[in-house]
């Protein structure tokens, strides 16, 4: 098997699947249903994931799959696919063009691994194949991280889950990080937010409580672009030096990505994200 040919073939498949999303986005249809965790699923999510999973089963039958809509399938190979057919579903339903199809194939080594994030509305595809700081393609343009922030101020984004502490912590962190560094907000699409870190549009991204299919492809892209990745475990931040397959073997990790030059300073300021939940009143009153 020529894995590079399969990678480009899969890129084309993702673009074709994106047409399903665009047709829905451009229509007045808003059919959806509520999932057990309170999030929303559309027929588009299910249809796109079905198309992608079918291709994987036919071309990579030994690989494992972790998908948002169809659950997990255990395989015999070392590779695991993480699929989010529409990351940023709330944006998608509200006709906000910040959403993405997100797919990563991760192995024990970077060889034969890749990440793809595609915005079917703006036609932006961010992808990287077997790279370890070699760069990320945004369509035909190669992106690599630069240390200097655009306009002289940093932009930081936060992606969060649904545990009780996460909402107030996000409000407090957004205010504090924004006042100290320039701007902080939530854009509600982790895959694209990390793609934007890789493309120098966002300088750092903090996430807690999300699922592996939300961040797997984005992590592959930021690593390919040269970003530093840290994980909050056992009460401390640790620079991640193991492979991304292991990092994405668990859901709901607390992860921070940024340019290496600002990484340690920002982590020192953030500390334990959960502790910010008790500070929300003070920072909201200041804003």
Same domain? For 161 and 183 the reply is yes
Predicted confidence at residue 282, as pLDDT, reads 54
Sheet holding 154-160, edge to edge: 182-185, 154-160, 204-208, 255-258, 228-233, 236-239
- Residue 120 tokens, joined: 């079917």
Q: Provide the percentage of residues in the chain whose pLDDT is more than 90.
A: 75
- Per-residue pLDDT, 287: 44
Q: In this structure, are 138 and 155 located in the same domain?
A: no
**Torsion of the alpha carbons at 159, 162, 166 and 167, rounded to the nearest 10:** 90
User: Do residues 133 and 155 share a domain?
Assistant: no
Tell which of 100, 119, 143 closes a domain.
Answer: 143
Q: Are residues 15 and 139 in the same domain?
A: yes
Looking at the fold, whether 155 and 134 belong to one and the same domain comes out as no
Q: 224-274 pLDDT, tens per residue?
A: 999 999 999 999 999 999 999 999 999 999 999 999 999 999 999 999 999
Do residues 179 and 94 both lie within one domain? no
Number of domains in the chain: 2
d(CA 116, CA 164): 31
Check whether residue 275 and residue 180 sit in a common domain.
yes
CA atoms of 236 and 246, how far apart (whole Å): 18
Residues 94, 185 within the same domain? no
Continuous segment of H or E residues that includes residue 127: strand 124-129
C-alpha distances in Å from residue 261, one per residue of 5, 52, 200: 35, 37, 14
DSSP class of residue 194 equals H
Q: How far apart are CA 261 and CA 107, in angstroms?
A: 28
At residue 208, does pLDDT exceed 70? yes
Give the pLDDT score at 45. 84
Same-domain check for residues 243 and 121: no
pLDDT at 162: 93
| Helices 166-181, 260-270: inter-axial angle, 10-degree rounding | 130
CA-to-CA distance for 59 and 53, rounded, in angstroms?
Answer: 10
Which structural domain, as residue segments, surrounds residue 22? 3-143
User: 209 and 275: one domain?
Assistant: yes
Report the pLDDT averaged over residues 2-23. 95
What per-residue confidence (pLDDT) applies to 37? 55
Mean pLDDT of the chain: 91
Is there a single domain that holds both residue 125 and residue 190?
Answer: no
- One domain, residues 133 and 154: no
The answer, yes or no, to whether residue 285 has pLDDT greater than 50, is no
CATH number of residue 280's parent domain: 3.40.190.80
Identify the domain boundary among 125, 143, 161.
143
Residue 121: CATH number of its domain:
3.30.540.10
Element (H, E) at 222: helix 212-225
Q: What is the pLDDT of residue 39?
A: 53
Q: What is the mean pLDDT of residues 125-149?
A: 85
Q: How many CB atoms lie within 10 A of CB 9?
A: 12
Per residue in 156-188, pLDDT (tens digit) is: 999 999 999 999 999 999 999 999 999 999 999
CA distance 202 to 94: 23
Between 171 and 141, where is the model more confident?
171
Can you tell me whether residue 183 is helix, strand or coil?
Answer: strand
State mean pLDDT over 118-129.
96
Token pair for residue 83?
């699929």
Mean pLDDT of 89-112: 94
Each residue of 46-100: pLDDT tens digit?
899 999 999 999 999 999 999 987 778 889 999 999 999 999 988 998 899 999 9
Cα 178 to chain centroid distance, Å, stands at: 21
| Tokens coding 254 | 């607390």
What pLDDT, on the 0 to 100 scale, is given for residue 286? 45
Residue 41 banded pLDDT, cuts 50, 70, 90: low
Find the mean pLDDT for residues 197-208: 96
Residue that finishes a domain, picked among 111, 143, 175: 143
């Amino acid at each position: 098997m020529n894995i590079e040919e399969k990678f480009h073939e899969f890129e084309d498949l993702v673009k074709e699947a994106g047409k399903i999303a665009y047709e829905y986005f451009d229509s007045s249809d808003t059919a959806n249903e509520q999932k057990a965790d309170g999030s929303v699923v559309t027929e588009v999510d299910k249809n796109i994931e079905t198309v992608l999973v079918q291709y994987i089963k036919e071309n990579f039958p030994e690989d494992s799959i972790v998908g948002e809509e169809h659950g997990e399938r255990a395989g015999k190979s070392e590779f695991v696919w993480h699929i989010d057919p529409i990351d940023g579903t709330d944006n998608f339903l509200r006709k906000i063009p910040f959403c993405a199809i997100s797919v990563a194939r991760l192995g024990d080594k970077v060889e034969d691994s890749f990440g793809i994030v595609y915005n079917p509305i703006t036609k932006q595809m961010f992808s990287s194949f077997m790279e370890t700081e070699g760069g990320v393609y945004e369509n035909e343009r190669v992106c690599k991280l630069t240390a200097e922030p655009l306009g002289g101020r940093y932009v930081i984004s936060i992606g969060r889950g649904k545990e009780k502490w996460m909402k107030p912590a996000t409000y407090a962190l957004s205010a504090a990080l924004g006042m100290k560094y320039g701007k902080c907000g939530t854009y509600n699409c982790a895959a694209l937010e990390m793609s934007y870190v890789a493309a120098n549009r966002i300088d750092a991204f903090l996430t807690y409580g999300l699922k592996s299919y939300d961040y797997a492809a984005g992590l592959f892209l930021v690593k390919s672009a040269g970003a530093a990745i840290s994980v909050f475990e056992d009460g401390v931040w640790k620079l991640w030096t193991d492979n991304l397959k292991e990092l994405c073997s668990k859901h709901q990790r607390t992860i921070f990505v940024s340019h290496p030059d600002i990484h340690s300073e920002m982590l020192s300021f953030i500390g334990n994200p959960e502790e910010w939940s008790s500070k929300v009143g003070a920072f909201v009153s200041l804003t």
